[in-house]
Amino acid sequence: MSQRNDQFFDKFAESYRDIHTKSIKKVSGADSFYFAEYKVKEIKKFEAGHHEKLLDFGCGDGVTELFLSNYFPSFELVGIDVSEKSIEEALKRGIPNAMFKYFDGVKIPFPDSNFDIVFIAGVLHHIKKDKHFSVVGEMYRVLKPGGRLYIFEHNPINPLTQYLVKTCEFDKDVNLITSGYCKSLLQKTNFLVTDTAFNIFFPRRSLFKCFIKLEKYLTRIPLGGQYLVRSLKTAKN
Ligand SMILES: C[S@@+](CC[C@H](N)C(=O)[O-])C[C@H]1O[C@@H](n2cnc3c(N)ncnc32)[C@H](O)[C@@H]1O
């Protein structure tokens, strides 16, 4: 892995969506916004949408919050990121039920048991493995008992995902993590893993589109391009 620091994404803060879309659209058939919305739709399958406090860990430029705000208007949304420039971009969106805050990469700037939900999408593979345990431990700390953690990651078992990651400007030197690795990390941190779902099996273009409706039957097959691992901070922990 090349030398990276917490400010690595500063230089992509303004252009992140364009670069991401350019790198994935030809193969996947969909743009960066499509993939942000798909994750929010996945959460909608589990969450009723009452007044809940959600932390987006590694929120980047705040596009996820656009969709979260739309699907969950009564949620209180908080996005944190180590890239100050990305936080500036997120703030420019003026999303009414969202606030954004710089994070030092060590201690989440909120007290214990503060959030109902923690969401983290495409971030863990940008963090060195030796920091994963403490990062997930911080998420555990800020979740209320009964709180839910949603981790979305690129699935390294899928060859198209591997290709897209290797050819994307800000991803090419990362080491992707498997769902099995994710689950064992969560168990070590005392989370109770409740669900694992594999998604995005087919490109979103031309004839492949007919098969998208079959994907809901394939979520247990570990070949999807993306996966979600959902876990709970159980009341007894
Ligand atoms: C690929 S982007 C994903 C952004 C957003 N989650 C999304 O799905 O659109 C990865 C983000 O993780 C952030 N990041 C990297 N290391 C981090 C850390 N230790 N703590 C919090 N955020 C981090 C980066 O600054 C970047 O904004």
> Which residues does residue 193 pair with via DSSP β-bridges, in sequence order?
231
- Specify the pLDDT at position 1: 43
Residue range 63-98, pLDDT digits in tens: 999 999 999 999 999 999 999 999 999 999 999 999
All domains in the chain, ordered by first residue = 8-232 (3.40.50.150)
Ligand 1 in reach of 136 Cβ (< 6 A): no
State how far the alpha carbon of 220 is from the alpha carbons of 16, 181, 195, 197, in Å. 31, 16, 10, 6
Residue range 153-163, pLDDT digits in tens: 999 999 999 99
- Specify the pLDDT at position 237: 47
- Best residue for ligand 1 mutational test, from 9, 39, 129, 175 (most atoms within 8 Å of Cβ): 9
Q: What angle do CA 104, 12, 185 make, to 5 degrees?
A: 50
Ligand 1 atom closest to Cα of residue 171: 1
Residue range 131-151, pLDDT digits in tens: 999 999 999 999 999 999 999
pTM: 0.96
Q: What angle do CA 106, 101, 123 make, to 5 degrees?
A: 55
List strands edge to edge, sheet with 115-121: 98-102, 76-81, 53-57, 115-121, 143-154, 226-232, 192-199
Ligand 1 atom closest to Cα of residue 16: 2
Ligand 1 in reach of 140 Cβ (< 6 A): no
